[in-house]
Amino acid sequence: MADQKKQDALVPGRNIYLYNKKTIMYDRLTDQNYIIRPQNVRAYNYLSIRYFIAFAVGFTMAVVTDNIWIGLGIGLVVLAVMSYIYYKRYLPSLSVDQSFKRPERVPYTDSLAQRLSAGRLLMAFFVSLSLAFVLVFNAYINEYPTVILVLNCLLGLAAAVLSGACLIAFFKKRKADKQ
C-alpha cells in the first residue's frame, strides 16, 4: 500500500523538479514555480498531456469522418477546453514557490540515458521504430486520402525521431557504463 501511494506521488514531465522534498513544476507561460502536492498529481497527469489528447481526438475524428477540417476543429476545441481548465482552474489552486531556482537544462538524450536502463532504451528504440513503420505502411496499404496519409507520415516521422533519440541515449548510456 505504501509503495502504491509513493508511486501515485511521482510526477513525470519536462519541467518537473524535486526540491526540498517537494515536487516543483515550472510553467513557462506564467513564469512561476508551482508546488504539486500528492493530491494534485492525478489532475496534473491528465492536464499535462492536453496537447496529445487534443491531437489524438482530432486525428481520430479526421479518420472517422474522412474530413480533416472536422477533426482539426474538434481537436482545437478539446485543446481550448483543457487549456482553460489548466490555466484558469488548476494552476491557481497550486501554491507558488519563489525560492526555487531552476538548474541548467539537460539535453533530452542525456535525460533518457539517466532515467532508463540500457535494455529499456533499446526496447523503446525498436518499439518506436516499429510504430513509425506501421503508421506509414498501414496508411499506404489502406490508400487513405492524401491528408490522412500526410498526417500518418508526420506521426511516423515523429516516432522515427523518438527512436533516434532512444538509440543515441542507448549509446550514451553504454559509454557512461564503460567509464
Section 126-153 average pLDDT? 90
Per-residue confidence (pLDDT) for residue 82, from 0 to 100: 95
Tell me the torsion sign for CA atoms 172, 173, 177, 178. negative
pTM of the full structure:
0.60
pLDDT digits (tens, 9 = 90+) for 70-108: 999 999 999 999 999 999 999 999 988 888 887 777 788
Read off the DSSP letter of residue 177: H
Per-residue confidence (pLDDT) for residue 46, from 0 to 100: 87
Pick the closest to residue 95 from 36, 43, 54, 46 (CA basis): 36
Q: Is the pLDDT of residue 2 over 60?
A: no
Q: Which residues contact 122 (CB under 8 A, 6 or more apart)?
A: 166, 170
Per-residue confidence (pLDDT) for residue 40, from 0 to 100: 87
